[in-house]
């Protein structure tokens, strides 16, 4: 446990911590996506990032609804994991010169983000069910499905356009 962090004593604390973690992460993602949109050359990739930015903004709002349903103030806690994934994405993208290869780097970095989110929302759905917070399961499940769809779309774009051009 860190010096300034809240102790996690039970599953409810862990659930709340994980919500705060993903709330922070979603906000960082909304800040990172404009860079991804700007750097993407492939129109399908650019469009995919743009629509996922809008979706992500709605996911932030949805998390605020989850906090409200649990009588909690929306609050974020620093997530080292998402900070690391975003930092790595920025580094890799700036190291690539060929635009077609950069598109693949953007797509693979974005998939690391989606997989992180899928892990978090998957755990949150499971914890919400276990703890009997049935009123928030649907909200969390909805975002989980969006993240899975975003991941599938990135695979599709990579396979159909981006990788071929970069090869």
- Candidates 7-15, 35-43, 72-80, 86-94: pick the segment binding Fe ion (CB under 5 A): 72-80
Residue with smallest beta-carbon separation from Zn ion = 79
Least distance in Å: CB of 151 to Fe ion?
8
Q: For residues 38 and 16, give the distance between their C-alpha atoms in angstroms, rounded to a whole number.
A: 34
Among 16, 21, 42, 106, binds Zn ion (CB under 5 A): 21
Q: For residues 27 and 145, give the distance between their C-alpha atoms in angstroms, rounded to a whole number.
A: 19
Residues 155, 167: contact at Cβ < 8 Å?
no
Q: Considering beta carbons, is residue 44 or 100 the nearer one to Fe ion?
A: 44
CA torsion angle 150 77 19 33 (round to 10) = -10
Q: Considering beta carbons, is residue 101 or 122 the nearer one to Zn ion?
A: 122
Task: Answer yes or no whether residue 59 interacts with Fe ion by CB under 5 A.
Answer: yes
Which burial class, exposed, middle or buried, applies to 11 when counting CB atoms under 10 A from its CB (0-12, 13-18, 19+)?
A: exposed
Give the one entry of Zn ion, Fe ion, none that residue 59 binds, where binding means its C-beta sits below a cut-off of 5 to 8 angstroms depending on kind: Fe ion
**Which positions lie near Zn ion, rule CB under 5 A?**
21, 79, 81
């Amino acid at each position: 446990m860190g010096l300034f962090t809240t102790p996690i004593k039970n599953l409810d604390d862990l659930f709340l911590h994980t919500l705060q973690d993903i709330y922070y992460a979603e906000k960082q993602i909304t800040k990172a996506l404009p860079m991804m949109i700007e750097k993407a050359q492939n129109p399908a990739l650019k469009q995919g990032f743009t629509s996922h930015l809008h979706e992500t903004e709605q996911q932030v709002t949805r998390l605020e609804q989850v906090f409200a349903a649990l009588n909690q103030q929306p609050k974020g806690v620093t997530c080292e994991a998402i900070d690391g994934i975003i930092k790595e994405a920025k580094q890799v993208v700036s190291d690539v010169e060929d635009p077609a290869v950069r598109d693949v780097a953007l797509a693979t970095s974005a998939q690391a983000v989606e997989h992180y989110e899928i892990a978090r929302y998957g755990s949150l759905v499971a914890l919400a069910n276990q703890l009997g917070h049935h009123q928030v399961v649907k909200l969390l499940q909805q975002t989980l499905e969006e993240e899975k769809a975003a991941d599938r779309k990135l695979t599709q774009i990579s396979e159909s356009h981006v990788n071929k051009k970069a090869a």
